[in-house]
Amino acid sequence: MIKVSILGATGYTGSELLRLLILRSDIEFKYLTSTRLVGRAVTDYYPHLKNLSSLAFTEYEAEKVLAESDVVFVCLPHGHAMTIAKQAKQYPVKVIDLSPDFRLDDVAVYEEYYEVNQTASDLLPSAVYGLTEYNREQIQSADLLANPGCFVTSALLGLLPVMGSAHINPKSIIIDAKSGVSGAGKSATVANLFAELQGNFKAYNVLRHRHIPEIEQELQKFSLDPVQVQFTPHLLPIERGIFTTIYIDLKEDVSEAELRELFQQQYVNEKFVHLLDKGQLPEMKMIRGTNNCLVQVQVDKRTHRLIILVVLDNLIKGASGQAIQNMNLMFGLDEQKGLNLMPLTP
């Protein structure tokens, strides 16, 4: 039995972890934390989980949570996981951080983009970046795992198969991404009100989004030439899902078949990442509620560009599903355990 605690169990990624883990017979929940709902029954707040949990939300008490859990998922806003990971060093507990605190190697970049001090920089070298398909070996032995960002997961799964290719110009990457509103978390803001979102569509953080340095950092690890990306996020009036369209200049004539082969080789044995057949195009409803990521690759001979289309569910492959994939690896389990989910269509 794996003893699991979820810090921030009332938020979107925390509740998605609950949903995905609650029926597993090898998981026992120890603490589900909140600051607002301490003492309230979990099934009172989440009536759809009726009869599935007898727990109440508690506050975070390090000496209890960390001593009694095998793994702690941190589903809190940025800035909290640094303290928790430091405290966790005193206990034999693994930490899976869904927040951005341990994703950026460069302390100055983290502090610039997130506007808080990086107070656990001594732990950065031991923090393993959890893009599962590319980092399995390190993930298996990780005690501190930095789960990737949701937009970042879509960009990396779309781009990494071609990052080492001499055919592409890695300074010409344009990432045009659209996300459902749950990507913004559960906290109420005027921008997230139904009347603002419904029937609307907009770009935000056009030149400066927090995911830009994370995308460039991870892509650069796979490219000898300098990488630069143009990333523009958009907000879709839907609950969940990310659709990312990527454009890259090709340096020379190269066939679509040759580039598709790179993706095929990379993903042929993957359970959760799939290259679509030629002629198929990804759609949000193909991945909604699943840990799957669908990728399509096309070459425009007229403009000499490679176009990569990626869809995934921001709360699952972009957050809690990937976190469970990583937990499974960290505990020596089948990586797919509990994640064989079918999408809701229509």
Ligand X SMILES: NC(=O)C1=CN([C@@H]2O[C@H](COP(=O)(O)OP(=O)(O)OC[C@H]3O[C@@H](n4cnc5c(N)ncnc54)[C@H](OP(=O)(O)O)[C@@H]3O)[C@@H](O)[C@H]2O)C=CC1
List, by residue number, the catalytic residues.
Answer: 150
Q: How far is the CB of 77 from ligand X (least distance, A)?
A: 5
Q: How far is the CB of 84 from ligand X (least distance, A)?
A: 10
**Strands of the 173-179 sheet, one edge to the other:** 202-203, 229-235, 173-179, 242-249, 305-312, 293-300, 273-275
Q: How far is the CB of 24 from ligand X2W (least distance, A)?
A: 24
User: Taking a C-beta distance cutoff of 8 angstroms, is the pair 312, 154 a contact?
Assistant: yes
Which structure tokens are listed for 98? 């869904």
Q: With binding defined as CB under 6 A, does residue 5 bind ligand X?
A: no
Q: With binding defined as CB under 6 A, does residue 37 bind ligand X?
A: yes
What is the Cα–Cα distance from 18 to 32, expressed in whole angstroms? 9
Binding mask of the shown chain, residues 52 to 71, with x at each position contacting ligand X2W by CB under 6 A: --------------------
In the chain, the largest separation of any two C-alpha atoms, in whole Å, equals 64
Q: Which residues of 19-38 are buried (b: 16+ CB within 10 A; e: fewer)?
A: bbbeeeeebebbbbbbeebe
Closer by beta carbon to ligand X2W, 58 or else 322: 322
C-alpha 170: how far from chain center:
23
Closer by beta carbon to ligand X2W, 72 or else 150: 150
If contact means CB under 5 to 8 A according to the sort of partner, which of ligand X2W, ligand X, none does residue 233 touch? ligand X2W
Q: Report 122-181 residues binding ligand X (CB under 6 A).
A: 149-150
Which structure tokens are listed for 182? 């749950």
Closer by beta carbon to ligand X2W, 60 or else 114: 114
If contact means CB under 5 to 8 A according to the sort of partner, which of ligand X, ligand X2W, none does residue 13 touch? ligand X
Q: With binding defined as CB under 6 A, does residue 275 bind ligand X?
A: no
- Helix axis angle for 211-220 and 150-159, nearest 10°, is 30
Q: How far is the CB of 346 from ligand X2W (least distance, A)?
A: 23
In sequence order, the 6+-apart residues with CB closer than 8 A to the CB of 258 are 167
The residue among 299, 230, 312 whose CA lies nearest residue 262 is 299
Query: Which residue carries 């693994």 as its tokens?
Result: 94
Q: With binding defined as CB under 6 A, does residue 80 bind ligand X2W?
A: no
Closer by beta carbon to ligand X2W, 100 or else 321: 100
Closer by beta carbon to ligand X, 72 or else 168: 72
Residues that bind ligand X (CB under 6 A): 8-14, 34-37, 75-78, 80, 98-100, 149-150, 182-183, 185-187, 314-315, 318-319
Residues that bind ligand X2W (CB under 6 A): 99-100, 149-150, 179, 181, 183-184, 210-211, 233, 235
